[in-house]
Amino acid sequence: MWLTDRLASFVTGLGLAKDKGANVRHIHVPRDRVELENAYRDNWIARKAIDIVPFDMLREWRSWQADEKLVGAIEAAETALGLQTKLLAAMIRGRLYGGGAILVGTRRGLPTDELVIERLGKGDIAYLHVLSRHEIHAGQIELSPLSPYFGEPTYYEVRGTTGSQRIHPSRVIRFLGAPRPEHSTAQSDCWSDSILQAILDAVDQASSAAQHIAAMLPEAKQDIISVPGLSNWLSNEADTKKLTDRFAYASQMKSMFGMLVLEGDGKSPEGETYQQKQLSFASLPDVARLFLQIASGAADIPVTRMLGQAPAGLNATGDSDTRNYYDHVGAKQRVELTPAIRRLDRMILRHALGDEPAGLWYSWNPLYQPSEKEKAEVGKIKAETAQVLANSANVPDEVLAEGVKGWLVNSDLFPGIDKAYDTHSGPLTGSEPSADDLGPDGLPADPDARGNVVPFRRQATTDAAPRTLYVSRKLKNADDVLAWAKDQGFANLMPAGELHVTIAYSKAPVDWMKVAPTWQGEELKVDAGGPRLMEQFGDAVVLLFASSDLQWRHREIGEAGATWDHPDYQPHVTITWDRGDVDLSTVQAYNGPLVFGPEIFAEVDEDWRAKLPAAE
């Protein structure tokens, strides 16, 4: 007697006999080789479901981390053996058939002998051959847990035109598809299921939906003609032929002359009537897209990657789906592919170098390729990090310089910089100059003394006495702004030498030496255009403008301990303290470039306005 425990409802019929899903059971029906091959060859969705993931796992390849000569030898060996292409072919076979393999041929030993990796020498790998599970047959499974080949076949067998050849499992690298639920020792072979085993129904439904929609296209528009007494016309063969010939001629006239001739007035019951019916396809794209999404979800591939199209819809970027997919592929590289080829990698190292040097490793190159803007933003962050480390004096200059060199050489921010480093004969950093030898920018005051050595600008390791802080930049093209202001009707303008932008105004004491040097240098230019407004702050009439560099610098000084007495920081230049009769709503804000000089550090002077020169 079988007892079952399930949810049932006598009111709705849930789980009872009238529930259509009550007797649904999953029955495993293996898909044979012919069906899998036909689907892969004839259905584009099935082919992409098989090919995309292995291709993405291998397309950016990997980077060996070692001495350049060793890396060059390894990469040359991989290229000569066609390793990347062979891995792709083997992984595709594994996903399609449920099993693929790479047969490693060596110049030493027999195929039936165990391949002891430690005995391989330089150039000992003769070939790498890719086989599917149907081309290499597995023997009895090794059940001894003490064997290094536990769970693998005790041997493989390859059948050729001249007979069969047994192969030791140490010479075969397996690639699987969808794992089976039972343990490998309980299986009749060492392989897995095809990826298409579970997803082919979803793939077929997506393909069928597109085919059904395509079949509706010829029926999109139908001509309907009502003929009185039609049954009588069809009662004998002669009249039927007359009727057929008549409408064939009518169709020909409509095609040639764009008109249709009918009998009668088209309204009375005795006359023929004509109408045209059209099918609506408004919701069909959503239906087709739904089935494609289901198929993509079954294959674990985003729709944007499966279809090779940009995401559609308002504010749709697809970045989240793409990054999640890349993270998924990266995880498969680490969790599945790396362990699967670990033995092969050791053979490659022996083949390329003759041994396995300690400390040699590789990493899979990232799949996401940043844009030029993203590269520049990351480069700026890394450069600022290097500057902070240099200022903190926690990292020796020589060590930090080597690290920066490695970053610049390995990035593509500055093409050719690796060769420039090779021709650079002097040290990467110079000796620490004295304070008397440095200019206001932290570099040697004598340009000829700088040579090709750029020392890191370092702050004093001891804290300076805190004091109030006022940081500003003078406006170098003040005359242009004042000329514009006069044209707008403003009077009593600020003197040209006093036009400036305030970056920090901290009444609270700050250790100036904790403020990192500015990255913009002696001049900061705000390009023409962009958001500009005229506003009144108290008695002051100011020109508001946008500058991410000034915003970032304001935050950086704030992180060093500076305070700010206003809710937000908005870069501006004070034009005048006398608005007069000018209506600011009618003023066209200055739209030209704003060029500011170097940063000026000073203590806060709350009586600064009284010391201003006479207005212009």
Residues labelled as active-site residues? 500, 502, 572, 574
- Chain length of the chain: 616
Question: Long-range contacts of range 209-215, CB-CB < 8 Å, 24 or more positions apart?
Answer: 209/287, 209/288, 209/291, 210/288, 210/291, 213/281, 213/284, 213/287, 213/288
Residues 365, 272: Cα–Cα separation, whole Å: 73
**Burial class (CB within 10 angstroms; exposed 0-12, middle 13-18, buried 19+) of 501:** buried
Which residue in 274, 250, 255, 254 sits closest to 264, CA to CA? Answer: 274
Q: Exposure pattern of 582-593 as b/e (b: 16+ CB <10 Å)?
A: beeeebeebeee
**Burial class (CB within 10 angstroms; exposed 0-12, middle 13-18, buried 19+) of 177:** buried
Eight-state DSSP code of residue 282: T
Which residue in 48, 335, 311 sits closest to 199, CA to CA? Answer: 48
Residue type, 214: A
Please answer whether residues 139 and 213 qualify as being in contact, where contact means their C-beta atoms are separated by less than 8 angstroms.
Answer: no
What is the dihedral sign for C-alpha 152, 149, 159, 42?
positive
Instruction: Considering only CA atoms, give the Rg of the chain.
Output: 39
Q: Reduced to 3 DSSP states, what percent helix, strand and coil does the chain have, rounded to the nearest 5? A: 40, 20, 40
Strand segments (E) across 401-499: 467-475
Residues 546, 253: Cα–Cα separation, whole Å: 69
Residues 597, 500: Cα–Cα separation, whole Å: 9
552 SS3 class:
helix
Residues 133, 187: Cα–Cα separation, whole Å: 15
Strand partners, 467: 510
Residues 167, 177: Cα–Cα separation, whole Å: 22
Eight-state DSSP code of residue 190: S
- Beta-carbon count within 10 A of 397 CB: 19
Across the chain, how many H-helices and E-strands are there? 18, 17
In the block, residue with structure tokens 């390995």: 410
Please answer whether residues 273 and 267 qualify as being in contact, where contact means their C-beta atoms are separated by less than 8 angstroms.
Answer: yes
Of all helices (H) and strands (E), which one includes residue 50?
A: helix 44-58
Please answer whether residues 367 and 329 qualify as being in contact, where contact means their C-beta atoms are separated by less than 8 angstroms.
Answer: yes
Rama region for 491: left / alpha / beta (φ>0; ψ in -120 to 50; rest) = beta
Please answer whether residues 576 and 494 qualify as being in contact, where contact means their C-beta atoms are separated by less than 8 angstroms.
Answer: yes
